[in-house]
Amino acid sequence: MKKTVSLEDISQLLIAEGIDLVDSSTYDHTNDRVFEVRLRGPARQFDVLRSALLSRDDVLGVYLD
């Protein structure tokens, strides 16, 4: 699998949804890339963000905690 998603891609989407990126870590694995991010923004936007991320072909999953 080609690792095409960058933190910059994700950051642009966050900005568009009115969410601030507070902190982040990137973990590259053999077959994927994982971003662990701490976000701040309106709670209602997190569902919108999740849907927007999952609509991308290069995003396999989104977990909000």
Q: Is the pTM of this model over 0.85?
A: no
Both tokens of 53, joined, read 């991320």
Which candidate, 62, 17, 56, 63, places its Cα nearest to that of 40? 17
Mean pLDDT, residues 8-34 taken together: 91
pLDDT tens readout for residues 48-64: 999 999 998 888 899 98
Report which residue type is found at 65.
D
Give the span between the Cα atoms of 65 and 58, in whole angstroms: 21
CA distances from 38 to 9, 20, 30, 46 (A): 16, 9, 24, 12
Strand partners, 55: none
